[in-house]
Structure formats: C-alpha cells, structure tokens
Amino acid sequence: MKAVRVHGYGEDPSLDDLPEPGIHSPHDIVVRIGGAGVCRTDLHILEGQWREKSGVRLPYVLGHENAGAVVEVGSAVTTIAPGDSVILHPLATCGACGACRAGDDVHCTSSYFPGINADGGMAEYLRTSFRSAVRLDPELAPADVAALADAGLTAYHAARKAATHLHPHNTVAVIGAGGLGHIGVQALRALTAAEIVVVDRSEAALALAAELGADATVRADGEEAAAVRERTGGRGAEAVLDFVGEGTAVASGIAMLARAGSYYVIGYGGSIDIPTIDVISNEINFVGNLVGSYGDLVELMALAARGLVRLHTNLYPFSDYAKAFADLDAGTLTGRAVLVPSL
C-alpha cells in the first residue's frame, strides 16, 4: 500500500510502498483510510521537535487524525465489524487500567499513539485498537470529519469542561479562533448559554467566530483584557479558553478573568508565571487540557451528525501530500488539509 513516511528529521517525507499492516493482537482492527488530517504537529515532527518525546523509530508513517472503513478485526473484537464506517480516537488505549475504566482513557497507563509513536494513518490502511473506533452516523463522510479526531477533540474537551460551570449570565472568553478555536466556539455554542466573547488578532478569524455563534468579538490589540472587562461590567470572564498559550496571550487572558474564574490552558509554547498571592486573592484556577476522551469523541460526533459542529476541509489526493504539507506550512489554507487515498 501507499504511505507517507518520515525517513529523517529535517527531510521531506516520501510516499512509499509498504505491506498492509494486518492484525497482530486480539484487540486490533485494520481500517481503510477515508481521510487523514494534516496537522501542524506533523510539521513539528518533520522538524524533529518530537524526536525524543515520541522516541519513535524511523522510518514510520505519519497521520494521527484518521477516519475510514474497518476491513479486519482481531479475535477479541466483538463490537466493531468489517464494513463499519469509523473515526479513530488518536490514542490506542488498554481498556484495563483505572483511567480507561473510569472514562478518562487519555490518561491510560499503557497506550500508544499511531502517527506519533507508531505507524499512523497517512496510508491506505492503518492498524489500531478497536477501542479507538467511534462508528459514524451515515450522514458523515470519513474525509469530512477526520480532522476532528485530534484538533477538534481537544477543543471540544476543553469546552465541555468549561461548560459545566458556565451559566446564562456568565461570560466565556475564547482566545484564538483558528484551527482549534473555531471548533471550540461551536462546541461552546452547543453546550452552554453563556455569552461567548472571542479574542483574536485576525479580523477574518473574528468574522468566522461571529458566524459560528460568538456573541461578541474583540480584536487582540493589547487592550483586549480591558475590552472584556468593560463588556462584563468590570467583572471579567468566568472562563477563559486559551487556544494560543504563548506570547502575551497568557498574561492578557489572566487579566480578563473574573474572581473565582477558571483559565483553560489549551494552546502551549509559553508559560504561566504568576505570584501565588494573585492566585489566592482572586481565587482563580488554571485547568490543563489534553485531547478529549473516547466519550468526548462520541459526543463530538453526535454534534457533527446534527450539523452543530462543522469543519472546513481541503481534500488532497495522496499524490499531492507534499502540496498539502506545503500549503499548511505557507499558511495559505482556510480550514484543514485532509489526505484522501482514494482520490
């Protein structure tokens, strides 16, 4: 089969011919890929940023945002069958540890991550665990939702946590309405009746956010915290979802937080630097967010099936994989790039 593989860091990946993966253990499934999202993390992998963190042995196949059709299942798999159309949770989890048992499978003590530390889905076929497969509503085409499997799922996860304490008279500020953030806005709109204020540097991003349900938009011009305070009668936002996590976003985000408010850390790159007295005197919280759980992905697909979360995608045939990477890198894409083997 054809697969996009990394052979060395700092090099372009290549489109290789490989044997199909096949079933290796009782919980495995093999999926014919219908779409594989191309993500900024793929660029970082190629640059070598994940070399030590993932410890993956080269060459290996990229692709951690995958959807398609099941073609084969292992001997212990009874709930997924060949022919099922599925989106794949990015982690292949064990199902037996305390975290998996409690629905918190992202903290599985024995998982692997296809596309990061094992062969991924930029290929005609992918092997993963049956536990990763969420059956798709007939309305949803794998290529259209693939990019929700990781980026979208992370945004949904944070929005869902925040929604549990957001009420109609509250305000939630979203910092950054790009790839993750614009999913976050849609998820918040579906999950909460709080007022949503979106902060971004880009007018185009703010216009999209307004279209997707934001109640107000604020240009990130250095005065954004003051603008959020003004809009909330001085109170600040009960929740801030920070999809940027670097540069001045963190300090500015903290400055727009209400007393007893919670700051959701989603984007990364920068750092939190705050005197403990400031954490205490306003009684604020910082909440870390990783990718969502399998259960979160089930919920996100329920929203997608009803049209409550939509993703703008650009489909590329496999032979154009290099162009997809280049377009992402050049920042010329609106929405997500998705590789489709069958095109």
Binding residues for its own copies restricted to 201-230, rule: CB under 8 A: 215
| 24, 167, 312, 323: which one binds its own copies (CB under 8 A) | 167
By beta-carbon proximity to its own copies, the closer residue of 244 and 324 is 244
The count of other CB atoms within 10 Å of the CB of residue 78 is 8
Q: Which two tokens stand for residue 236?
A: 């600040």
Q: Which two tokens stand for residue 156?
A: 């949904």
Residue 193, interface with its own copies (CB under 8 A)?
Answer: yes
CA 325 to chain CA centroid, nearest Å: 18
Q: How far is the CB of 329 from its own copies (least distance, A)?
A: 21
Interaction mask 65-104, its own copies, x per CB under 8 A: ----------xx-xx--------------xxxxxx-xxxx
Binding positions for its own copies, 132-161, rule CB under 8 A: none
Q: Please tell me what DSSP assigns to residue 2.
A: E
By beta-carbon proximity to its own copies, the closer residue of 143 and 266 is 266
Binding positions for its own copies, 231-250, rule CB under 8 A: 245-246, 250
Contact 149, 35 (CB under 8 A): no
To the nearest 10 degrees (0 to 180), the angle between helices 294-305 and 181-191 is 80
Q: How far is the CB of 206 from its own copies (least distance, A)?
A: 19
Task: Decide: residue 224, CB within 10 A, 0-12 exposed, 13-18 middle, 19+ buried.
Answer: buried
Q: How far is the CB of 119 from its own copies (least distance, A)?
A: 21
Pairing of strands 66-73, 28-38: antiparallel
| 135, 285, 322, 327: which one binds its own copies (CB under 8 A) | 285
Choices 1-9, 167-175, 203-211, 323-331; region in contact with its own copies by CB under 8 A: 167-175
Task: Calculate the CA dihedral of residues 248, 250, 256, 258 and round it to 10 degrees.
Answer: -170
Residue 290, interface with its own copies (CB under 8 A)?
Answer: yes
Contact 196, 227 (CB under 8 A): no
| 15, 207, 216, 298: which one binds its own copies (CB under 8 A) | 298
**Count of residues that interact with its own copies, criterion CB under 8 A:** 73
